[in-house]
A and B are shown apart, each in its own frame.
Chain A
């Protein structure tokens, strides 16, 4: 059952190897990072601005 903060009262027993991996990820350095500002710039460029430009070119060109 969850307590008021949504955290389980007791921690579920996981497979030892899975537990080792999760503990390593929770510790921080073993986890990957999310997109940074540069990645977002590329995503917007290649996924929004570029397609919009292509669509306008295809329609009006």
Chain B
């Protein structure tokens, strides 16, 4: 009897430990990583499919017509997805860790705070915008239903709905990763509603769509086309912040390539076509604004409901990824999950409630700043993993923090990665000014993100071989020693 109780007690403790594991930053073991390819694909598609797609499409439609815009955006998005997956994917999937922890071999046992800040700012920016979009859609839905009191508009409702949205996100995420997957199974329907909205617009306005000319297109056709690709690459680079927390729930790298590329990479450009078509034909990328015109009252209600709900899927995945990333800070790792969630959500709630228009009106800048930050990061991670370390990562060293540990470098920071990041940011800003979209040099042939990724990786390799490896820092394989 006593043995049975002891066994049951040990089993309960083990279950509780495994249930808590997905709300922590420590590596997940294979048996805790229960998402198969379908489940992973659905969770990723739900995270990807949100109203930012319409904004991405809007920017695409400023420079390219529907045909070229569709192809350039899809191509750019798939390239961006590949870079993100190659950068963070291998380390995250092998050891069940999230994106920020995967940067410790490159940035150092303290230097990881640099990518952690990038992740936090990116997720706060994106999710504040999504929740504002949610509030606007909800206002329009209430207007269509005739439930909006006279004199009340989006401006008055945004702070209120943002707070409600944050509260719902918080409640769902108390379940950790299972909260993400349960909601994903419902909200994935949004992807199909999105395709239905695209079908509506394309089928009813095809002649106008084909004839439409982009409003801000420059006389230089190459520049327009390259910018179309750049928008795709940059948009998908922002998935770096999300990808680790989600793919670590899958047990095996051999089964994630297709779900990630098709589940996370493809829905964004496909749903962005709604925005491209909307801005070209109706001069408005937001389907919640034009659905009643195109499809009537019923279509507007169905569409708006899903548009509003869809942002939850992404916001939930984003807040989850960011909260897990913040767990890398030792003090936050010791706090209850609820407190970490509150710390993550509060900046989003603040922006959405108090300065919503500021965030909403600077979408292009947020997009470009993401490219500025994540392109160098991807280049450094890819070069470090494949070229310098030959795929050898020490999981124990990722969690060591004391001076002299293997990823300590100098003072916990790796100057090679930091210099490569600075060079990358400077190069990106030179090639494409993120604030003015003014471009220089080979941008019109190469984009800004791709050369930035390449050059950052090269600088990291060069400095590591010249400085870090000779100083026997960073636990890099010594080429000379391994050849003898």
Closest chain B residue to A46, Cβ basis:
B261
* Distance from A29 Cβ to chain B, minimum over Cβ atoms (Å): 7
Asked if B261 contacts A12 (CB within 8 A), the reply is no
For residue B405, which residues in chain A have a CB less than 8 angstroms away from its CB? 8, 12
B262 at the binding interface (Cβ < 8 Å): yes
27 contacts between A and B (CB under 8 A): A2-B406, A6-B472, A6-B478, A7-B406, A8-B405, A17-B17, A18-B26, A21-B28, A24-B29, A25-B29, A30-B31, A32-B33, A32-B94, A32-B95, A33-B252, A33-B253, A34-B94, A46-B257, A47-B79, A47-B82, A47-B261, A50-B75, A51-B75, A51-B79, A54-B74, A55-B72, A61-B71
Complex Cα distance, B395 from A33, in Å, reads 14
Main secondary structure of the interface of B (DSSP, over half): helix
The answer, among B29, B76, B257, for a CB contact under 8 Å with A42, is B257
* Distance from A61 Cβ to chain B, minimum over Cβ atoms (Å): 7
Asked if A35 contacts B401 (CB within 8 A), the reply is no
Q: Which interface residue of A14, A32, A47, A58 has the most chain B CB atoms within 10 A?
A: A32
The answer, among A22, A34, A47, A50, for a CB contact under 8 Å with B27, is A22
Asked if A8 contacts B406 (CB within 8 A), the reply is yes
- Size class of the A contact interface (CB-based, 8 Å): 35 or more
Asked if B253 contacts A36 (CB within 8 A), the reply is yes
Closest chain A residue to B83, Cβ basis:
A47
Tell me the count of chain B residues lying within 8 A, CB to CB, of chain A.
57
The answer, among A4, A14, A47, for a CB contact under 8 Å with B78, is A47
Closest chain A residue to B404, Cβ basis:
A1
Which A residues fall within an 8 A CB radius of B?
1-2, 4, 6-8, 12, 14, 17-18, 21-22, 24-26, 29-36, 38-40, 42-43, 46-48, 50-52, 54-55, 57-59, 61
Q: Which of B396-416 contact A (CB under 8 A)?
A: 396, 399-402, 404-406
Closest chain B residue to A51, Cβ basis:
B75
Do A38 and B71 form a contact, CB below 8 Å, given A32-B93, A47-B81? no
> What does the 1/0 interface line of B85-115 toward A look like (CB < 8 Å)?
1100110011110000000000000000000
Asked if A42 contacts B95 (CB within 8 A), the reply is no
Complex Cα distance, B473 from A17, in Å, reads 28
Closest chain A residue to B94, Cβ basis:
A32
Asked if B472 contacts A34 (CB within 8 A), the reply is no
Closest chain A residue to B477, Cβ basis:
A6
Asked if B94 contacts A33 (CB within 8 A), the reply is yes
The answer, among A1, A31, A36, for a CB contact under 8 Å with B94, is A31
B68 at the binding interface (Cβ < 8 Å): yes
For residue A4, which residues in chain B have a CB less than 8 angstroms away from its CB? 472
